[in-house]
Amino acid sequence: MFVRDAMSTLVLTIGPAHTLRQAAALMSARRVGAALVLDPDAGMGILTERDILNSVGLGQDPDTERTDAHTTNNVVFAAPDWTLEEAARAMAHGGFRHLIVLDGGEPAGIVSVRDIIRCWVPARRRVPA
């Protein structure tokens, strides 16, 4: 199986001026754990729920902290034709749970550890009572 088989093609995209609260609200509404941050100056980055949690844990105000201060810009990108094993290896090696997928240099999707597991483990069937 390939990254293209597991990735979500609906990617939450935010800007660097969003506050962490705004980002968290959008992530919660979409039920996603990461957002692609498009910054004209810094390029593509990623903001994850862990980034928001770390900021709040440090006592920072989510209403004033902007995403650009918490975005990871040193991003490992995946390609749609990577195997799921390659994606899992990159995640394990880098210590992160999301990969932005680029196709021809443009964002094509995002893949998470949960997406990979969902592909590797067959869905449980409900047994009628």
Backbone angles phi, psi at 106, to 5 degrees: -110, 145
- On average, the pLDDT of the chain sits at 93
CA angle 27/29/33 to nearest 5° reads 30
Q: Is residue 69 part of a domain?
A: yes
Asked if residue 29 is part of any domain, the answer here is yes
pTM over 0.85: yes
Q: Is the pLDDT of residue 127 over 70?
A: no
Q: Could you give the CA distance from residue 50 to residue 54 in angstroms, rounded to a whole number?
A: 6
Question: Which range of residues forms the domain containing residue 87?
Answer: 3-120
The CATH number of residue 16's host domain is 3.10.580.10
**CA 5 to CA 9: how far, in whole Å?**
10
Compute the average pLDDT of residues 42-58: 95
Of the candidates 7, 37, 15, 23, the residue with the CA atom closest to the CA atom of residue 110: 7
Residue at 64 is within a domain: yes
Instruction: With respect to residue 125, please indicate whether it lies within any of the assigned structural domains.
Output: no
Asked if the structure places residue 39 within a domain, the reply is: yes
As to burial, measured by CB atoms within 10 angstroms (0-12 exposed, 13-18 middle, 19+ buried), residue 39 is middle
As for how many domains the chain has, the answer is 1
What is the pLDDT, as a whole number, of residue 73? 86
Residue 16 predicted with pLDDT over 70: yes
Domain membership of residue 35 (yes or no) is yes
In a domain, 19, yes or no: yes
d(Cα 27, Cα 29) in Å, to the nearest integer?
6
Residue 126 lies in a domain: no
Position 123 pLDDT exceeds 80: no
